Amino acid sequence: MKKIKYDGFELEHFDAASNFRKYQISLIKDYLTGSLLEVGVFSIIK
């Protein structure tokens, strides 16, 4: 499988876009049931 270099430059903009979030949720909302746990990556600034 060919590796693709992806720097994700647009992800910062997607995080701030409310329409994009609504679109994402509309795709998965029928599958969300019961309790949910969000696990994410974070940065530590020293």
Interval 4-22: pLDDT, tens: 787 777 777 777 777 877 8
Say how far apart CA 33 and CA 16 lie, in whole Å.
25
Q: What pTM, to 2 d.p., does this model score?
A: 0.42
Q: What pLDDT does residue 27 have?
A: 92
**pLDDT at residue 3 greater than cutoff 80:** yes
Per-residue pLDDT of 22-44, as tens digits, reads 888 899 999 888 888 777 766 65
- 3-state DSSP of the chain: CCCCCCCCCCHHHHHHCHHHHHHHHHHHHHHCCCCCCCCCCCCCCC
Q: Residue 46 — very low, low, confident or very high, per pLDDT cuts 50/70/90? A: low
What would the two tokens of residue 13 be?
């903009």
